[in-house]
Amino acid sequence: MLELIDVHTYYGNIQALKGISIHVEPGEVVTLIGSNGAGKTTTLRTIQGLLRPRQGKILFEGQDLSSSSSPEIVRLGIAQSPEGRMIFPRMTVLENLEMGAFHRQDKAGIQADMERVFTLFPRLQERIKQKGGTLSGGEQQMLAIARALMARPRLLLLDEPSMGLAPMLVNQIFSIIHEISDQGTTILLVEQNARMALTVANRGYVLQTGEIVLTGSAKELQVNETVRKAYLGEE
Amino acid sequence: MQNFWKALRASSILGAIGAVTVLLFGGWSSAVMGWLLGTAAGYTNSHDGLWPKPKIGAQMGAKTGLILGIWLAVASLVEGLIVRPLSGQTAISFPQALQYGLLGLVMAVVWSTVMSTIQSLTDPVQRRRMTWLLMALFLVVFPMVDQRAATGWIATVIQILIFAMLALGLNITVGYAGLLDLGYAAFFAIGAYTTGMLSSPHLGIEWNFWIVIWIAAAVAAIAGLVLGSPTLPLRGDYLAIVTLGFGEIVPIVFRNLTAIRIVEPISGLFATLLNRPELAICLVGCEEPLNLTNGEAGINPIGRPSLPFLGTFRSDNYLPWYYLVLLLVVFSVFMINRLRVSRLGRAWTAIREDELAASAMGINRVNVKLLAFAMGATFAGFAGAFYASYITAIFPSVFDFSVSVIILCMVILGGLGNMAGVLLGCVIIMGADRLFLPQLAQVLKGFLNTTVLPNIANPALRDFLAISFDPIQMRLFLFGLVLVVMMIVRPEGLVPSARRKAELRSEDPVVNESLADVRSV
């Protein structure tokens, strides 16, 4: 479904991605784990068209994305819940969700998705008139994911959904991610919390300073020596 | 008793404004102010359906109007019997002054009661409809009242309405899309010069105003795109500086487009290389260089609009001009309101809130930002076309930096992103600048000449006093003072949009929380 082939991305002169290749199959949950500065967010931004790869190819269902603009990419079916949530703080929850469906014209479909999102996140329905900035951290994260779902993506990019959340909320968010996946949306999940990520993912990639150093099924990675030491904090 | 205090508070600010106006202008201005401020008082002290029943609303309105009217009546008497003789104007008799004052009082009571009653209607649709109706009536009959009352404010009101259009346009760029534009007067200039070039004997092109005004708006919109494109990657301070530069360049370009000769470049190159000037194929300004804008002397005269039955608009009859500019403002308000709630309007808000998140939502930030500049500029184009045709002469010096700043101040004073606020800010600033200060200067001068100066023996002191009390000289100082006070006391503007208010009122715990949240990330 999604394939990155030898993608190099730079911030000015600084190379953030040193030729990474990953692929995501339909229906999968694939996770990208790694420490700070490994290039996880850069990878997602490159896929979304917010950054341009200097070299390499990004294929989505066979179509090359490397020269498409982000609005085109959203229209093709890729939506992102960005790092740090980046909800619109002075818009209401409802307006935020409507922004997620910005490129869509089908009123009935948008309404249906709105209802689907409220079943997934009943908390948001309670706060529908509230300003995004007044929500708690967990609710903002829910809103960010819900907003991305409003684009009715076939591929959902999640950037650090557990960031800054209490452990109980992290569990809740991950069970919702599981549910979204069960409903048929393919997910590319970027996480620092490798333990949680590997419990929901089918496969994973380990990213280190802009390179893929390890790949395998979630089960394999969970028992891998390096991963256990570096990312799961086990001896 | 409590109601009395409420009424007093509601009418004190308006009463003071009315009293000052009457003290300066005198005559029937008290009646006009009674009408205007009575309506305003009736609106402000009872909107949001404060009072449950129309009957109570009417009673409150009458009380408020009465207090307001007393301000006006007292001011009328003081003006007629004390201020006038002291400032060297002919005094008027007591009955006459009383008559002025009483009419003001009656007008204040009547209109305050009417507006209050409407505001306390329980059906919101009916309430809104009646309010609009009353406001429309107000705007339509204003010139007649102005004429009957001999206040002579209509010329200023036309100026106010021109700037209202400009402020509304700038509000799109700055208020909705959050792009700080310090060179907005450039678009005003482009609209005015387009009109000047296309409907003046200066270039021999004299097209009809009704066509030219659309061309002017279109040219201004294109200029908006031209300015917008290099500023796309810029934000905040940097954007402000680029727009500032654009605002400086445009009047200078118009000042210098006086001798244009354009040669077809390839033949021109050969002509230079071979040193044979006759080879160059001349395209523009062949016989003599083309004088496009007439430099500092400006373009004059510029054609005026004409209508069947009415004929060509004349400079001594303000009525058609007033209705035309009113129509343009109403059209702008309508269009901008539609834009605000459209997809584009929502995209502007999203871009202002968070550009990166907005583009991750699939908003094309390039187009959205360009359109914010272009749409803002369009309304400046309309204003420029009207202005050029109304004044019938344009000069580059009219469109300098201070104009951009004044328009920006209107937007900020009234409340960024809120149309009613922007219009109010425009009325306050332009009213103070074009109506109050000149009249104040005149009255003060009369007062000095007849009352103060003859009683001062020392000639040096007399000379000093004679030259130093000129409010017109102090207008920029007063203006700056108001802005400084505003920014400290009420940074969100007089009538803030709900969003802006949340943004700027930092003691609001809810917003603090969200900011802390953003920081921790």
Q: What angle do CA B120, B126, B129 make, to 5 degrees?
A: 105
Q: Do B357 and A87 touch (CB under 8 A)?
A: yes
Q: Provide CB contacts within 8 A for B417, sequence distance 6+.
A: B171, B175, B176, B497, B499, B500
Contact A227, A34 (CB under 8 A): no
Q: Kindly identify which residue of chain B lies nearest to residue A145, measuring between CA atoms.
A: B361
Sign of CA dihedral A23, A24, A30, A32: positive
Phi/psi at B206 (5° precision): -130, 75
Contact B356, B235 (CB under 8 A): no
Q: Which residues of B are less than 8 Å from A85 in CB distance? A: 521
Q: What angle do CA A182, A186, A188 make, to 5 degrees?
A: 120
Q: What is the pLDDT of residue B511?
A: 40
Give mean pLDDT, residues B266-272. 84
State the pairing for strand pair A155-159/A186-191. parallel
Q: Do A69 and B364 touch (CB under 8 A)?
A: yes
Contact A135, A106 (CB under 8 A): no
Q: Where are the domains of chain B?
A: 1-152, 157-256+301-414, 258-291
Question: Which of B343, B356, B514 is closest, CB to CB, to A89?
Answer: B514
What DSSP designation does B379 have? H
Interface test with B, best of A134, A135, A162, A163 (most B CBs within 10 A): A134
Considering A87-101, B70-84, B184-198, B495-509, the range whose residues carry the highest mean pLDDT is B184-198
Fill in the amino acid letter for B440.
L
Contact B51, B150 (CB under 8 A): no
Q: Which residues of B are less than 8 Å from A90 in CB distance? A: 353, 499, 502-503
Residue A216 bridge partners (DSSP): A204
Q: Do B357 and A82 touch (CB under 8 A)?
A: yes
Q: Kindly identify which residue of chain B lies nearest to residue A137, measuring between CA atoms.
A: B517
- DSSP per position, B242-282: HHHHHHHHHHHHHHHTTSB-EE-HHHHHHHHHTT-GGGSPE
Q: Which residues of A are less than 8 Å from B515 in CB distance? A: 133
Sign of CA dihedral B513, B518, B520, B521: positive
Q: Do A88 and B350 touch (CB under 8 A)?
A: yes
* Model confidence, pTM: 0.85
Q: Do B361 and A140 touch (CB under 8 A)?
A: no
Q: What is the pLDDT of residue A37?
A: 84
pLDDT exceeds cutoff 60 at B1: no
State the pairing for strand pair B262-263/B282-284. antiparallel
Phi/psi at B364 (5° precision): -80, 100
Q: Which two tokens stand for residue B115?
A: 């507006």
Contact A92, A55 (CB under 8 A): no
Q: What is the pLDDT of residue B258?
A: 87
Q: Helix B94-119 to helix B2-25 angle, to the nearest 10 degrees? A: 130
Is the Cβ of A166 closer than 8 Å to some Cβ of chain B? no
- DSSP per position, chain A: -EEEEEEEEEETTEEEEEEEEEEE-TT-EEEEE--TTSSHHHHHHHHHTSS-EEEEEEEETTEE-TT--HHHHHHHTEEEE-TT----TTSBHHHHHHHHTTT---HHHHHHHHHHHHHH-HHHHHTTTSBGGGS-HHHHHHHHHHHHHTT--SEEEEE-TTTT--HHHHHHHHHHHHHHHHTT-EEEEEES-HHHHHHH-SEEEEEETTEEEEEEEHHHHHH-HHHHHHTS---
pLDDT exceeds cutoff 90 at B253: yes
Q: Kindly identify which residue of chain A lies nearest to residue B515, measuring between CA atoms.
A: A133
pLDDT exceeds cutoff 70 at B501: no
Is the Cβ of A52 closer than 8 Å to some Cβ of chain B? no
Q: Do B514 and A147 touch (CB under 8 A)?
A: no
Q: Which two tokens stand for residue B93?
A: 């008799």
pLDDT band, very low/low/confident/very high, at B474 (cuts 50, 70, 90): confident
Q: What is the pLDDT of residue B2?
A: 63
Q: Where are the domains of chain A?
A: 80-152
Residue whose tokens read 């200078």: B252
Identify which of B195, B167, B192, B190 has the alpha carbon closest to the alpha carbon of residue B250. B190
Phi/psi at B274 (5° precision): -90, -5
Contact B172, B351 (CB under 8 A): no
pLDDT exceeds cutoff 50 at B519: no
Q: What does the pLDDT look like over B226-247, one tens digit per residue?
A: 999 998 888 778 999 999 999 9
Q: Provide CB contacts within 8 A for A126, sequence distance 6+.
A: none
How far is Cα B335 from Cα B497, in angstroms, rounded to an integer? 18
Low-confidence ranges of chain A (pLDDT < 50): none
Q: Helix B318-341 to helix B343-353 angle, to the nearest 10 degrees? A: 70
Is the Cβ of A50 closer than 8 Å to some Cβ of chain B? yes
Contact A93, A128 (CB under 8 A): yes
Q: What is the pLDDT of residue B504?
A: 53
Q: What is the pLDDT of residue B497?
A: 62
Higher per-residue pLDDT: B424 or B91 = B424
Q: Which residues of B are less than 8 Å from A75 in CB distance? A: 362
> Whole-number mean pLDDT of chain B?
85
Give mean pLDDT, residues B194-202. 92
How far is Cα A70 from Cα A78, in angstroms, rounded to an integer? 9
CA distance A100 to chain B (A): 5
Q: What is the pLDDT of residue A98?
A: 92
How far is Cα A132 from Cα A116, in angstroms, rounded to an integer? 19
Q: What is the pLDDT of residue A119?
A: 92
Helix, strand, or coil here: B518?
helix
User: What is the ipTM score, two decimals?
Assistant: 0.82
Q: What does the pLDDT look like over B21-44, one tens digit per residue?
A: 888 888 888 899 999 888 888 887
Q: Do A80 and B360 touch (CB under 8 A)?
A: yes
Q: Do B346 and A98 touch (CB under 8 A)?
A: yes
Q: What is the pLDDT of residue B362?
A: 85
How far is Cα B451 from Cα B479, in angstroms, rounded to an integer? 29
Q: Which residues of B are less than 8 Å from A131 in CB distance? A: 502, 510, 514
Q: What is the pLDDT of residue B234?
A: 83
pLDDT exceeds cutoff 50 at B508: no
Q: Do A140 and B517 touch (CB under 8 A)?
A: yes
How far is Cα A127 from Cα A117, in angstroms, rounded to an integer? 13
pLDDT exceeds cutoff 50 at B334: yes
Question: Which of A134, A147, A151 is closest, CB to CB, to B514?
Answer: A134
Q: Which residues of A are less than 8 Å from B350 in CB distance? A: 88, 91, 99, 102
Q: What is the pLDDT of residue B3?
A: 65
CA distance A69 to chain B (A): 8
Q: Which of A101-105, B308-312, B329-333 has the lowest mean pLDDT?
A: B308-312
Q: Provide CB contacts within 8 A for B264, sequence distance 6+.
A: B280, B281, B282, B283
CA distance B399 to chain A (A): 36
Size of interface A-B (CB pairs under 8 A): 89
HSE-up (13 A, CA, CB side) for residue B486: 21
Contact B27, B149 (CB under 8 A): yes
Q: Do A137 and B510 touch (CB under 8 A)?
A: no
Interface test with A, best of B355, B361, B367 (most A CBs within 10 A): B361
Q: Do A102 and B360 touch (CB under 8 A)?
A: no
Q: Which two tokens stand for residue B265?
A: 């470049």
Q: Kindly identify which residue of chain A lies nearest to residue B350, measuring between CA atoms.
A: A88
SS3 string, B1-67, reads CHHHHHHHHHHHHHHHHHHHHHHHHCCCHHHHHHHHHHHHHHHHCCCCCCCCCHHHHHHHHHHHHHH
CA distance A12 to chain B (A): 15
Q: Which two tokens stand for residue B92?
A: 């008027």
Contact A133, A116 (CB under 8 A): no
Buried b (16+ CB within 10 A) or exposed e, B429-442: bbbebbbbbebbbe
How far is Cα B38 from Cα B51, in angstroms, rounded to an integer? 18
How far is Cα A147 from Cα A97, in angstroms, rounded to an integer? 5
Is the Cβ of A40 closer than 8 Å to some Cβ of chain B? no
Contact A206, A227 (CB under 8 A): yes
Q: Which residues of A are less than 8 Å from B359 in CB distance? A: 50, 70-71
How far is Cα B385 from Cα B211, in angstroms, rounded to an integer? 10
Helix (H) or strand (E) holding B284: strand B282-284
Identify which of B367, B30, B373, B339 has the alpha carbon closest to the alpha carbon of residue B178. B373
Residue whose tokens read 């108001």: B482
Is the Cβ of A71 closer than 8 Å to some Cβ of chain B? yes
Q: Do B361 and A98 touch (CB under 8 A)?
A: no
Q: What is the pLDDT of residue B308?
A: 84
Q: What is the pLDDT of residue A148?
A: 93
Q: What does the pLDDT look like over B165-192, one tens digit per residue?
A: 999 999 999 999 999 999 999 999 999 9
CA distance A102 to chain B (A): 7
Give mean pLDDT, residues B117-142. 87
Give mean pLDDT, residues B401-430. 89
